[in-house]
Structure formats: structure tokens, C-alpha cells
Amino acid sequence: MAADSATRMLATQRRGAQRREHARPLSLDDARAHVVAGALADAPVGLVGLELEGHLVDLDRPSERVPWSRVQDVARRVPALPGRSRLTVEPGGQVELSGPPGHDAVAAVTAMRRDEAVLRAALAADRLGWALLGADPARPARRVNPGGRYAAMENHFVATGQARAGLQMMTSTCALQVNLEAGRPHQHAPRVQQAHRLGPVLVALSASSAWLGGARTGWCSSRQRVWGELDRLRCGPLRGGSDPAAEWGAYALCAPVMLVRDPDGGPEQPVLRPVPFARWVTGEEALGGRRPTAADLDYHLTTLFPPTRLRGFLELRFLDAVPSRWWPGLVSLVTALIDDPAAADAAAEAAEPVARSWSTAAHAGLGDQALRRAAARCAEVAAAASPPELRPDVEAWADLASAGRVPGDEVDRRAGDVGPLAVLEEESRA
């Protein structure tokens, strides 16, 4: 018993020391080192994490956003999910499933499919649906989640001249997020570079948001257009150089602070003018009446949204949510083009000519001939490299891409024929 007590005491002392260290004001060098240390972990390639986000729709009143009280009620009634996904609700009432890492794409997809089925059944019992589309095609942007973080974010966007794009991003967009390991240290830079290189091709392939708020926008991915309208210091891509962890450190210190947390547990306060984190660290700007700590820096990192975010692993944030039948193949396609060495080499060669065409990919999609060629080749390579369980799903993507088409084209066509509200309702019942 005495040994157990001593062990517990030592553990408590260590935790206390860690909390005190986390609360100590930072120097600029401390801040940079903290971000760099957490950017890319040494881990073997293989694990795949998924986050699947969809628009919540009232099947009896699809033109209206679901009231917050009802969202909370139905979220509490969703049973335990067999794949152990965590359920969260975004500012516009979007519902997101975040799964634990699977040992490969097949395991991750299988678990998420089970969780999707359970979620859909629970929602349907309450006359609700879940539409997997990159943007809400029909309803105007409106925040329903009253959480203090989201209210403060909205105030920040208003004060910094990003009111429309900020509200649309928060309440009217949905993504399919694929999380991949960073690999061994010698793989870190090549894997980040590959994710960056493939970004425009994958934006064009996943584009399923030609409609937003009841109108066709003229962009294949209105979701990506919205992100492009936000502050590039917060949302622009990394450079894709030889030292991605150092780049991430510089990015984080240059990015403006969005929110300041109250260390005593009060609500977050929005920062109403552009203040780079580095200027808060050095004391050139005063925020919250104090200098920032490591806890403040960690929170700051949650408000940065580059297409590939470094969180120890690679968080790929640039894919539109795509209709239910299509997302498993997209997961396998993305994973193969980054994790399979031979497929990655072939995809790199195909994607290099369009590696910086982010805006063109969002606007024109596969209507751009260079992107069409690159996407067709990448999808073909991914189909050959995908596991047998998912190969038919990837081959369906490859067949479309070879014809210069993507699943979002059918969504766009149907919205033009029957209206965006009807499409929102249709997709929510998938």
C-alpha cells in the first residue's frame, strides 16, 4: 500500500508540474518550439481516421433549420455507436461523426459505415435526415448552436470584415476529413508535400457544392470558395517545403488570434482586430490583460484551418462531404495516393502540373482540362492500389473521372431540375 501511495503521489506531483508549466507565459522561442514539437509525430504509416459531417434536416420542414433544443434532444437519444465514433454538433446544426483510427482504410470505412447506419436510424425515428453535401444547397446561413466559442467566432468574423464567409463556413458547409499518420521522420516532408500536391485534384474530384443557400454559385465547390474568402493567414495552405514542422511553427505565430480564453473558466472573448500570435507573445499587443501560455497556444492552433493541418498526424481538411454511396471510395482513393508508395509516385507525377491550382479546382473542377487529366490518372492509380474490399468503390470514381465527371455533377443536375430544397431532402434520406 505504501508503494502504491508513493506512486500516486509522484503521478499527482508530475501532473501538477505539467499544469504549472502549461500555464507559464511563453517566450517567442518557447512558442515556436512548442508548435514544432507537436506538428509531426514519429509513427508508422497505416492508421486511418475519418470525420464525416452532414447537414441535419427536418423531413417535415426541410426549409427550416432544426431548433437547438431538438438537436440536443435527438443527440442525447442516439445509442452507443458500434464503431465508437464521437458525435458532435457544429454551429449550423451540422452533425459530425469522428471515428477512432482504424488500422487501415477498410477498417476505418467499415466502422464508419456502421456508425452512419445507426445514426441515420436514430434520426429517422425523430423525422430527421442527414445530408452529406459540401454545402447546404437550399437554406440560408444561420447559427443555431449557442455555444460560447461559436458566438465569439461569429463576432470575430464580423469585426474583421469576414461576416458572410465566416457565417457560411460555420453553418452551411460540411467536409469529409481523412486523417493519416505522418510516418517516420524521413517521410514527414514527402508526405506533407504529397498531400499539398494532391490537394487541387482532390478538391476537384470531391466537389459537391455547386449550390449554396438556394442558388447556384458558379463554383463546383462552393465550400472551398468560402474557405478561400477567409483570411489566408488562417486558412491558406502551407508552402510544402522541406521542413513542414518549422513551416507550421511560423504559420501559427503569424496567424491572427481569433479567441482568448478566460483562464478562470469564463467565456471566450473574440479578438476584434488582426493580432498575430507572435505579437501577443512578445507583449507588443495586449490580449486578455496577460501574456499567452502554452494552453493559449494550443487553443490558438484549433482556430487555424489550412487545407492540411499538422496535428502530429496529417489532417486533410479540403474534401467536400459527398453523398453516402460515394464517400467510402473517396477515402480509399485518398489513402492509396498518399500511403501506397508506388501509387503516391505515380499520382505525384500526374498532379504536379496542377499542384497550385486550388482556386481553379474549386471553381471549374474537372471542367479544367489539366485537372481532368490529372484526376483521371490519379483515380486510375488509386483503383489499382486499393484493397479488394474497396476497389469497386474506387473504380466507380475512376470511371466517372475518365469521362470528366464527378458525383457532385449529378447533385448539381438534380438541383437544377427539381430545386435545391428537394435535393437537400433527398440526400438527407440516403
User: Which alpha helices (DSSP H) does 28-172 contain, by range?
Assistant: 28-39, 68-77, 105-124, 148-159, 163-172
Axis-axis angle for helices 420-428, 407-418 (nearest 10): 130
Residue type, 86: R
- pLDDT digits over 315-374, tens only? 999 999 999 999 999 999 999 999 999 999 999 999 999 999 999 999 999 999 999 999
Question: Cα–Cα distances in Å, from 114 out to 81, 126, 232, 347?
Answer: 8, 19, 37, 31
Rounded distance, CA 194 to CA 191, Å? 5
Rounded distance, CA 170 to CA 69, Å? 19
Q: Is 326 in contact with 133 (CB distance < 8 Å)?
A: no
Rounded distance, CA 158 to CA 429, Å? 35
Give 345-393 as a DSSP string. HHHHHHHGGGTT-HHHHHHHGGGSHHHHHHHHHHHHHHHHHS-TTTHHH
pTM recorded for the entire structure = 0.93
Q: Is 212 in contact with 235 (CB distance < 8 Å)?
A: no
Per-residue pLDDT of the chain (430 residues), as tens digits, is 445 554 444 444 454 444 444 578 999 999 999 999 999 999 999 999 999 999 999 999 999 999 999 999 999 999 999 999 999 999 999 999 999 999 999 999 999 999 999 999 999 999 999 999 999 999 999 999 999 999 999 999 999 999 999 999 999 999 999 999 999 999 999 999 999 999 999 999 999 999 999 999 999 999 999 999 999 999 999 988 999 999 999 999 999 999 999 988 888 999 999 999 999 999 999 999 999 999 999 999 999 999 999 999 999 999 999 999 999 999 999 999 999 999 999 999 999 999 999 999 999 999 999 999 999 999 999 999 999 999 999 999 999 999 999 999 999 999 999 999 999 999 999 8
Domains of the chain: 48-247+305-428 (3.30.590.20)
Rounded distance, CA 354 to CA 224, Å? 16
Rounded distance, CA 234 to CA 230, Å? 8
From 244, 243, 186, select the one nearest 43 (Cα to Cα). 186
Phi then psi dihedrals of residue 329, to 5 deg: -65, -35
- pLDDT digits over 245-280, tens only? 999 999 999 999 999 999 888 889 999 999 999 999
Sign, Cα dihedral of 7, 13, 16, 20: negative
**Cβ neighbours for 87, distance < 8 A, ≥ 6 positions apart:** 75, 78, 81, 95, 96, 97, 119
* pLDDT value, residue 1: 42
- pLDDT digits over 204-232, tens only? 999 999 999 999 999 999 999 999 999 99
